[in-house]
Amino acid sequence: MIDLRSDTITKPTPNMLKAMFSAPVGDDVFENDPSVNLLQDKASELFNMQAALFCPSGTMTNQIAIRINTSPQDEVICDQNAHIYLYEGGGMMLNSMVSPKLLTGDKGRLTAEMITAAINPDDIHRPKTRLVALENTMNKGGGAIYDFKEIIKIATVCKKNELKLHMDGARLFNALAESQETPADYGTLFDTISICFSKGLGAPVGSMLIGTKDAINQAKRVRKAMGGGMRQAGYLAAACTYALDHHLDKIKDDHRRAQTLASAIENLSFVSALYPVQTNIIIIALKPDRSPKTFLHQLEKKGLLAIGFGKGLIRLVTHLDFNDDQMEKVIHIFRSLE
Ligand SMILES: *Cc1c(COP(=O)(O)O)cnc(C)c1O
């Protein structure tokens, strides 16, 4: 079975497992785990920010970021399809008692102009606009990449209006692989950045929240209260360090395979349209006479797993455990359904 449901399905490589097994560990709640400390230092240096905190998931790093960047009753500006709104179980309402202001970006990407227009006036009837959260790449937008020039403009609007700025960078390394910017360029513009090692980088578990020393000290308290303080977490951190050292370069291969798949699929009779493929996500709009549920079932019978993505859409994601031979098979499977 070829599994393109998500880039989270990858399993550790033998060498990653070796790195995990041989990791020096300690109790990370006492801040005594050398492998966690190494990874946190590596991440904060990479982004040229002061500090970083290792967490079990990207949902947790995002939720902690919302919590420390807001107060109850505040409002968070994000796209209507943002992961923090759509896929985190209503967490911002539960954990931070804030409401979202949902905007409709271009494939999930907001502009400085849209954000400026969405800031509430100072009026006790209105929640206080406090945080802007961007997602790069944008999952629901088909892995769309932000234009960094727009991010600079957005950061300027945030500074001017005293808004905090958070990056949900679960797939930020996919964006970076296709752009000129460095992680440090992002570090200068954002109050907090979340990155995931369990997506394109192929680690089994792990996300990082990166920010100022103050922000990360606050984040430690929130992580503890959420039950996210882990003990000998160094075994996991070692996998993430291994991923940073060995898998960053492989992201481009995922993108190339996504491009090849997209070109082979786009003109098939049952395809109505594809979202532009910029990274490792392919979103296919099926012709109205094809039900996604039936179509996914047909794919599965031929040996391919994909997922439905709402409204006649299905999603495929390329990843580290997907190679050129499998890519040829996937093309063959799609052609056989004409
Ligand atoms: C996967 C993902 C996350 C985090 O998900 P977890 O499964 O909680 O690690 C956050 N944001 C985006 C855009 C994602 O794709």
With the most atoms of ligand 1 within 8 angstroms of its CB, the residue from 83, 209, 283 to mutate is 83
Task: For residues 39 and 73, state if they share a domain.
Answer: yes
254 neighbors 200 (Cβ within 8 angstroms): yes
Task: For residues 22 and 165, state if they share a domain.
Answer: yes
Nearest atom, ligand 1, residue 56 CA:
9
Sheet holding 271-274, edge to edge: 271-274, 281-286, 313-317, 307-308
Domain final residue pick, 200, 217, 246: 246
Task: For residues 166 and 267, state if they share a domain.
Answer: no
Domain final residue pick, 196, 219, 246: 246
| Structure-token pair, residue 6 | 């998500």
Task: For residues 215 and 90, state if they share a domain.
Answer: yes
Per-residue pLDDT of the chain (338 residues; tens, 9 = 90+): 999 999 999 999 999 999 999 999 999 999 999 999 999 999 999 999 999 999 999 999 999 999 999 999 999 999 999 999 999 999 999 999 999 999 999 999 999 999 999 999 999 999 999 999 999 999 999 999 999 999 999 999 999 999 999 999 999 999 999 999 999 999 999 999 999 999 999 999 999 999 999 999 999 999 999 999 999 999 999 999 999 999 999 999 999 999 999 999 999 999 999 999 999 999 999 999 999 999 999 999 999 999 999 889 999 999 999 999 999 999 999 999 98
Task: For residues 294 and 191, state if they share a domain.
Answer: no
> What is residue 98's predicted lDDT score, i.e. its pLDDT?
98
Task: For residues 90 and 135, state if they share a domain.
Answer: yes
Q: How far is the CA of 83 from the centre of ligand 1 (A)?
A: 7
> What is residue 305's predicted lDDT score, i.e. its pLDDT?
98
Domain final residue pick, 210, 229, 246: 246
> What is residue 16's predicted lDDT score, i.e. its pLDDT?
98
Task: For residues 196 and 263, state if they share a domain.
Answer: no
Q: How far is the CA of 207 from the centre of ligand 1 (A)?
A: 9
Residue 1 burial (CB count, 10 A): 7
> What is residue 288's predicted lDDT score, i.e. its pLDDT?
95
CATH no. for residue 262? 3.90.1150.10
- Overall number of domains in the chain: 2
Give the residue, by CA position, lying nearest to ligand 1 atom 4. 58
Q: How far is the CA of 132 from the centre of ligand 1 (A)?
A: 17
State the angle between helix axes of 14-21 and 234-246 in degrees (0 to 180), rounded to the nearest 10.
140
Task: For residues 116 and 220, state if they share a domain.
Answer: yes
Run of H or E residues at 209:
strand 207-211
CATH no. for residue 103? 3.40.640.10
pTM, two decimals, is: 0.98
Give the residue, by CA position, lying nearest to ligand 1 atom 5. 58
> What is the domain range of residue 266?
2-6+250-336
Kindly list the protein residues whose Cβ atom lies closer than 6 A to any atom of ligand 1.
57-59, 62, 83, 135, 139, 168, 170, 196, 198-199, 207
Q: How far is the CA of 289 from the centre of ligand 1 (A)?
A: 32
> What is residue 24's predicted lDDT score, i.e. its pLDDT?
98
Give the residue, by CA position, lying nearest to ligand 1 atom 2. 170
State the angle between helix axes of 324-336 and 251-265 in degrees (0 to 180), rounded to the nearest 10.
20
Task: For residues 85 and 160, state if they share a domain.
Answer: yes
Task: For residues 273 and 212, state if they share a domain.
Answer: no
Task: For residues 179 and 273, state if they share a domain.
Answer: no
Task: For residues 262 and 170, state if they share a domain.
Answer: no
**Cα distances (angstroms) measured from residue 34 to each of 23, 39, 46, 157, 238:** 9, 9, 18, 39, 10
